[in-house]
Amino acid sequence: MAVAVQSSRIRMSQAEFEQLLPAPPFYDYIDGEAVEVNRPTVRHRDVVVCLAYTLRQYARLQGLGLVVADANVKLPAGDWVGHDVTYLAPDRAELYHEEKGAIIGAPSLVIEVLSPSTAMYDRTEKLAMYEAAQVRYVWLIDQESLAVDEFQWTPDGYLRVGAVPGGQPFTPKAISWLTLNIADILG
């Protein structure tokens, strides 16, 4: 049984946070605090890499936007987070700033692969932050079962528009041009 670990939090200004070196330990920046995030397990990384690669190849071949893994994202409120996978539809492509090495704004889709140590943080604090930023879609994927919950932003808050058990085909609302089976992607 995995044990959830409380993340270390350090109060600092956004300017101080932006001066941190991109090296361990790694942090998100939320509401004036640097929140230490754990390095992922091999299983977590495998899910992220395989999913990002599959989405990226399809989007690239079809000219359907940009897919990146483990990108730095500055949300409109000034919070900095690292998503496991981020998708920018063509109408949001301008949010990627190569010179800053980051996405500045609310992505079309954020995918979080839930680890036992970060699942509560991702499901509560980060999901609320994405909702406030009006991120169009969020997927939460359990790294062990591969079950997917898909949320869509509405003016009334997030609406859960999909829940797929692990190993089942998934046609997301966010990218309806593709049907995925994450278990098959992992081989």
DSSP 104-136: ES--SEEEEEEPTTTHHHIIIIIHHHHHHHT-S
- Going by their DSSP bridges, the two strands 72-74 and 102-104 should be labelled as parallel
Q: Is residue 3 one of the residues assigned to a domain?
A: no
Domain count, the chain: 1
In a domain, 93, yes or no: yes
At 121 the pLDDT is 86
Q: What is the pLDDT of residue 99?
A: 80
| pLDDT value of position 167 | 87
Interatomic CA distance for residues 110 and 49, integer angstroms: 14
In a domain, residue 47? The reply is yes
Residue 21 lies in a domain: no
Q: What is the distance between the alpha carbons of residues 74 and 83, in angstroms, rounded to a whole number?
A: 11
For residue 47, which phi and psi values (nearest 5 degrees)? -60, -45
pLDDT beneath 70: ranges in the chain: 1-7, 21-25, 37-40
Is 62 among the domain residues?
Answer: yes
The answer to whether residue 75 is domain-embedded is yes
**73-111 pLDDT tens trace:** 999 999 888 889 999 999 999 999 988 888 999 999 999
Task: Tell me how far apart the alpha carbons of residues 182 and 165 are, in angstroms, rounded to a whole number.
Answer: 10
pLDDT tens string 59-76: 888 888 999 998 889 999
pLDDT at 4: 44
Question: Which residues, 6 or more positions from 142, have their beta carbon under 8 angstroms from its beta carbon?
Answer: 114, 119, 166
- pLDDT at position 81 is 86
pLDDT score for 23: 56
Kindly state the tokens that stand for 1.
């049984």
Give yes or no for a contact between 147 and 141, defined as CB atoms under 8 angstroms apart.
yes
Is residue 8 situated within a structural domain?
A: no
**pTM of full prediction above 0.85:** no
Nearest C-alpha neighbor of 73 from the set 47, 44, 112: 112
Q: What is the pLDDT of residue 115?
A: 87
- CATH number reported for the structural domain that contains residue 66 in this entry: 3.90.1570.10
Is residue 134 assigned to a domain? Answer: yes
Sheet with 148-154, side-by-side order of all strands = 66-69, 85-88, 109-114, 137-142, 148-154, 157-164
Instruction: Name the residue range of residue 144's domain.
Output: 40-186
